[in-house]
């Protein structure tokens, strides 16, 4: 066990030394689709909730390293609007995780100057879940470090439809004209209006789809996929994704030499 920890630390330090630590080369906004908790538990003949519990530990690890690397925003896809279709016991457990996570991690969040935010529909969440989120957001609202942004009860298509309805209402009321609707206008009506668009999207567990996550915002984001299940995803994996990002040439549809 000691040798394993030493070997892991050595690999981590090697990866860190290879990383371009120039703050301009670190992605400003990283979004992660945290996938594979259930499969992680199944492979160990454990209940699915054990995978979610282990995945919560990974959230803490990755939030810490993101903060230390100088990432400005870390958006985590925690619960989608489609996840309500899962078994009731699993959904109930998932809805208890924000309270458990934030109660345990909040002192460190405050110490690290991290600001907790959320995108998604709060109205559909249980009261205890809303209380935990609201408490963390209120306590950290003046923090100026990493924005730890949870996508909870979030679905991108619903977000876009809601934005369209809001714009149409303002057009009907004469507050907005058709000619004034641009990409920038649409951005202002999205839940992420106050955030930069993601530079890097990470998805774990080998799946290579977006699953209704930030469809508008990811238009020019760099994608990085890994077979690693979320509970096994560690600091070295995170830095590997950033290192891959740093080697890419972001052209935004244009040409470069």
Q: What one-character-per-residue DSSP string does 210-255 give?
A: --SSSTTTTTTPEEEE-SS-GGG--HHHHHHHHHHHHTS---TTS-
Annotated binding residue at 193? Answer: no
Annotated binding residue at 37? Answer: yes
User: Which residues in 179-210 are b (16+ Cβ under 10 Å) and which e?
Assistant: eebeeeeeeebbbbeebebbbbbbbbbeeeeb
Q: Which of 90, 140, 138, 148 is nearest to 118 (CA)?
A: 148
Annotated binding residue at 210? Answer: yes
Annotated binding residue at 235? Answer: no
Provide the sign of the torsion angle of the four alpha carbons 153, 155, 156, 160, taken in this order: negative
Set 20, 22, 67, 83: catalytic member: 83
Set 20, 22, 35, 153: catalytic member: 35
Annotated binding residue at 199? Answer: no
Q: Is 211 left (phi over 0), alpha (psi -120 to 50) or beta?
A: left
Q: Which two tokens stand for residue 72?
A: 């400005």
Annotated binding residue at 35? Answer: yes
Q: Report yes or no: 197 and 221 within 8 Å, Cβ to Cβ.
A: yes
Is there a catalytic annotation at residue 35? yes
> Distance (Å, rounded) from C-alpha 195 to C-alpha 95?
25
Annotated binding residue at 52? Answer: yes
Q: Which two tokens stand for residue 150?
A: 């949870």
Annotated binding residue at 48? Answer: yes
CA angle 87, 89, 90 (to 5 degrees): 65
Annotated binding residue at 82? Answer: yes
Annotated binding residue at 145? Answer: no
Annotated binding residue at 18? Answer: no
Annotated binding residue at 40? Answer: yes
- Give me the residue label for tokens 């994608």: 223
Annotated binding residue at 209? Answer: yes
Annotated binding residue at 15? Answer: no
Radius of gyration of the chain (CA): 19
Which residues sit in the known binding site for Mg(2+)? 35, 222
Q: Which residues are catalytic?
A: 35, 83
Which residues sit in the known binding site? 35-40, 48, 52, 80-82, 84, 86, 203, 209-211, 222
Which residues sit in the known binding site for substrate? 36-40, 48, 52, 80-82, 84, 86, 203, 209-211
């Amino acid at each position: 066990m000691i040798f394993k920890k030493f070997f892991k630390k050595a690999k981590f330090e090697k990866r860190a030394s290879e990383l371009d630590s120039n703050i301009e080369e670190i992605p400003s906004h990283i979004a992660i689709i945290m996938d594979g908790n259930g499969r992680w538990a199944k492979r160990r003949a454990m209940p699915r909730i054990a995978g979610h519990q282990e995945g919560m530990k990974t959230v803490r690890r990755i939030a810490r390293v993101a903060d230390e690397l100088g990432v400005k925003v870390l958006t985590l896809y925690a619960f989608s609007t489609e996840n309500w279709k899962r078994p009731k016991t699993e959904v109930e457990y998932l809805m208890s995780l924000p309270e458990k996570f934030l109660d345990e991690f909040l002192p460190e969040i405050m110490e690290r100057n991290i600001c907790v935010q959320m995108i998604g529909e709060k109205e559909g969440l249980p009261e205890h879940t809303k209380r935990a989120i609201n408490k963390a957001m209120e306590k950290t609202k003046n923090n100026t470090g990493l924005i730890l942004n949870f996508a909870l009860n979030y679905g991108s298509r619903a977000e876009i439809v809601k934005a369209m309805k809001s714009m149409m209402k303002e057009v009907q009321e004469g507050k907005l004209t058709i000619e004034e609707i641009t990409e920038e206008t649409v951005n202002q009506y999205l839940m992420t209006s106050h955030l930069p668009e993601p530079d890097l999207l990470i998805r774990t567990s080998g799946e290579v789809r977006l699953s209704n996550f930030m469809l508008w915002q990811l238009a020019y984001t760099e994608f990085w996929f890994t077979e690693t299940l979320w509970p096994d995803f560690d600091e070295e994996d995170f830095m590997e994704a950033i290192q891959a990002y740093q080697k890419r040439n972001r052209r935004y549809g244009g040409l470069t030499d």
